[in-house]
Amino acid sequence: QFGIPWYVDTRAMYYRTDLLAQVGYDHAPQNWDELYDAVKKLVENGSRYGITLYQPQDNYQVLLPFVWQNGGDILDSAGNVIVDQPEFVEAFGYYTRFFTEGLTPIAGGGNLFQDFASGDTPIFFSGPWMVSMIRAQIPQIDGNWDVALMPEKKSRTSFMGGSDLVIFRDSKNKEGAWKFIEFLSRQDIQVKWYQIVNALPSVPKAWEDPLLQSDPMIATFGEQLNDAKAPINIPEFQEISVSIDTRVQEAIYGRKTPEQAAKDLKKDIEKILK
């Protein structure tokens, strides 16, 4: 089973340049230490929270980039569950710390645009679609925000998503389907699709188009794609993601340490994969 990449997306760091400057940062936080330091200083400077990390579900999209940046993962190359290893546990602890220290909201319900505009949450991670949405919905902060690469530990690895184009085995018009895939894969069509829905092109040549190169924020996402990763591609991943949500909840509410939550997550995943 194969697919032709249609569009891709990744996550990068959105931040308020003016508020970061007030706490001594004339640049985006470059690594884990700077991110934690900047977030603490933003809260001390009057922001309600320094960063938004919480998701009501699919927390793996936020947690796993930290794990990957630290050299960890869910499975090793032999298929062994490694979420109890130091690389995963350290990243889990780093992520959890923002919640237990009150630096990020522990539940949803806020309006991301309003909170970003007001300065309540001056940093968050999201995809390229947010660039046009911020420009349209909160133009009052134009010039006071930017997009940067993910913070670095051992790497700057971010989450990668997207969509593929496939032809069903029992399709009655495989030739027509293939022609349509070829059409959608053309460089000019990829650029037009980006214009319509803000989905990043999967065709490298499309990134040479002036439309993408002339927007520094979108170009940042193009650069981030050079260090982005998708979760393990196995049928059981949906069930694994539910277990990650459960263990994340236990850790951020302080019911379990990151170490214990990671050990329990390992048991969950091993049971799922049996």
Q: What percent of the chain has pLDDT over 70?
A: 99
Side by side, the strands of the sheet bearing 145-148 are 123-126, 12-16, 145-148
Residue 38 — pLDDT band, cuts 50, 70, 90? very high
Q: What pLDDT is attached to residue 113? A: 96
Q: What pLDDT is attached to residue 110? A: 77
Query: Hey, which bits of 119-262 come out as E strands?
Result: 123-126, 145-148, 158-165, 200-201, 228-229
The Cβ of residue 233 has, within 10 Å, a number of other Cβ atoms equal to: 6
Residue 109 — pLDDT band, cuts 50, 70, 90? low
Whether residue 57 has pLDDT greater than 90: no
Rounded to the nearest integer, the mean pLDDT of the chain is: 95
Q: How far apart are CA 49 and CA 134, in angstroms?
A: 19
Phi and psi, residue 124, nearest 5°: -155, 165
Cβ–Cβ under 8 Å, residues 10 and 225:
yes
Q: How far apart are CA 19 and CA 46, in angstroms?
A: 10
Query: What would the pLDDT profile of 221-274 be if each residue is shown by its tens digit?
Result: 999 999 999 999 899 999 999 999 999 999 999 999 999 999 999 999 999 999
Domain residue spans of the chain: 10-157+236-273, 160-227
Q: What pLDDT is attached to residue 54? A: 80
Kindly tell me the sign of the dihedral angle through the C-alpha atoms of 44, 48, 50, 55: positive
Q: What pLDDT is attached to residue 153? A: 98
Q: What pLDDT is attached to residue 1? A: 60
Is the domain covering 10-157+236-273 a CATH 3.40.190.10 domain?
Answer: yes
Residue 141 — pLDDT band, cuts 50, 70, 90? very high
Token pair listed for 232: 């393990």
Query: Hey, which bits of the chain come out as E strands?
Result: 4-10, 12-16, 123-126, 145-148, 158-165, 200-201, 228-229
Q: How far apart are CA 55 and CA 58, in angstroms?
A: 7
Cβ–Cβ under 8 Å, residues 163 and 156:
no
Whether residue 108 has pLDDT greater than 80: no
Q: How far apart are CA 129 and CA 131, in angstroms?
A: 6
Query: pTM here?
Result: 0.93
Q: How far apart are CA 104 and CA 186, in angstroms?
A: 42
Q: How far apart are CA 67 and CA 74, in angstroms?
A: 9
Stretch 170-181: mean pLDDT: 96
Query: What would the pLDDT profile of 151-168 be if each residue is shown by its tens digit?
Result: 999 999 999 999 999 999
Q: What pLDDT is attached to residue 2? A: 73
